[in-house]
Amino acid sequence: MQNTTNDRREFLKTSLKAGVVLGLSGVLGSLSANTTNSQGVKMQFSTLNNGVKMPMLGIGTLNMGNTKEVQNAIESALEVGYRLIDTAQRYGTEEGVGAGIKSSGIKREEIFITTKLRPSLTNEKDALKAFEGSLKNLQTDYVDLFLLHWPLNDTYGAWRVMSKLHKEGRIKAIGVCNFLPDRIVDFCLNNEIKPAINQVECNPLYQRANLQKVMQEYNVKLESWASFGQGRSGVLDNPVLMSIAKKHNKSVAQVILRWLIERDIIVIPKTTRKERMLENINIFDFKLDENDKTAIAKLDKGVSLSFNQQDVERVKWLNSL
Ligand SMILES: NC(=O)c1ccc[n+]([C@@H]2O[C@H](COP(=O)([O-])OP(=O)(O)OC[C@H]3O[C@@H](n4cnc5c(N)ncnc54)[C@H](OP(=O)(O)O)[C@@H]3O)[C@@H](O)[C@H]2O)c1
């Protein structure tokens, strides 16, 4: 086991030298809020509406596998240089994330952990116990970002619990997911603490420009899930994106992540493969030009590639999660 870990570290050290560090050495110097972590990987940060700094690129964990598989993937991601991890009570990946962080030996305060409250536990009575369950799974005494997973059930009651935990310092920032413009406005108008983040489906075929504009009024940052259309939906083999990628000598995945970050959107692509982790983090050494951005803007279809969250059968299903 020790040897396997050492081999992996050696492989990643070499890969990092060859790929990420060299690739990052150019443009990053001119970006403002960048830092270099202990792996030598540079990262861009976003400042949330309460002053908390959040890495703009992290790793998603939906469908990452069983606890051991998640642990292995998280160990790899941390070795590559990822410091933002996105999990959720509903994904069943919190324990693997906690185990991966622990075995990495990296200090807790160097890592930004996001987790989410299950829809079925989104109410004033269950939220605290659910949060404490997350802490136990993650082997930590605080989370950096705790999100309402869906705008369903008693979001206001759960938010009161989350606000209290935030004031106590047990959650550094609180936010929401999948809130449409009307819900964001209502939520911001009627809560003392505004969400720091709204995590929503966002990719070149579903760009969410109107939603982002509404959110900017309240200083709520957009975080993208399904940046790659969940690896299906034709996003990664879109011909326009392929030609932009070729022009920059990058992959389509890198062009998408770069495009999102240039829109001030935080990204959390999911992969279990080390070579893709390296590929996905190596996006800070190039910039898209105006022609690229104009061409990508035209790709927006304005509808979810995943599902219609307002469909009544979906609402019933989501409530049961
Ligand atoms: N708040 C919410 O309601 C919500 C909903 C969905 C997801 N999320 C979060 O957002 C994260 C990201 O979204 P997602 O996992 O649904 O979809 P995604 O990141 O768009 O796509 C993941 C898929 O892309 C593949 N992939 C990753 N890097 C690649 C690359 N460089 N080239 C080609 N394929 C690549 C992965 O395959 P391999 O693993 O085989 O590499 C996987 O099949 C989730 O993991 C989760 O943490 C939140």
Per-residue pLDDT tens over the stretch 132-178: 999 999 999 999 999 999 999 999 999 999 999 999 999 999 999 99
| 152 Cβ closer than 6 Å to some ligand 1 atom | no
What does the DSSP assignment read for 20-73? Answer: IIHHHTTGGGGSSSEEE-TTS-EEEEEE-TTS-EEESB-EE-TT--SHHHHHHH
| 146 Cβ closer than 6 Å to some ligand 1 atom | no
pLDDT for res 123: 98
H or E element in which residue 147 lies: strand 143-148
Our count of domains for the chain comes to: 1
| 268 Cβ closer than 6 Å to some ligand 1 atom | yes
Classified as helix, coil or strand, 237 is coil
**Measured between alpha carbons, how far is residue 179 from residues 91, 148, 244, 246 in Å?**
19, 9, 31, 35
Q: Tell which one of 87, 221, 228, 266 to mutate to probe ligand 1, the residue whose CB is within 8 A of the most ligand atoms.
A: 228
CATH number assigned to the domain comprising residue 47: 3.20.20.100
In 94-114, which positions are buried (b, 16+ CB within 10 angstroms) versus exposed (e)? Answer: bbbbbbbbbebebeeeebbbb
Domain that holds residue 174: 2-319
CA of 190 to the centre of ligand 1 (A): 33
DSSP-assigned beta bridge partners for residue 225: 201
The model's pTM is 0.91
Contact by Cβ (8 Å): 159, 188: no
82, 91, 206, 218: which is the annotated catalytic residue?
A: 91
pLDDT for res 37: 63
| 96 Cβ closer than 6 Å to some ligand 1 atom | no
pLDDT for res 41: 75
Per-residue pLDDT of the chain (321 residues; tens, 9 = 90+): 333 344 344 434 434 433 343 333 322 232 235 666 666 677 999 999 999 999 999 999 999 999 999 999 999 999 999 999 999 999 999 999 999 999 999 999 999 999 999 999 999 999 999 999 999 999 999 999 999 999 999 999 999 999 999 999 999 999 999 999 999 999 999 999 999 999 999 999 999 999 999 999 999 999 999 999 999 889 999 999 999 999 999 999 999 999 999 999 999 999 999 999 999 999 999 999 999 999 999 999 999 999 999 999 999 999 999
CA 203 to ligand 1: nearest atom? 20
Which amino acid is located at 138 in the chain?
L
Residue nearest to atom 42 of ligand 1 (CA): 231
| 86 Cβ closer than 6 Å to some ligand 1 atom | yes
pLDDT for res 232: 87
pLDDT tens digits for range 55-88: 999 999 999 999 999 999 999 999 999 999 999 9
Among this protein's residues, is 156 annotated catalytic? no
pLDDT for res 250: 98
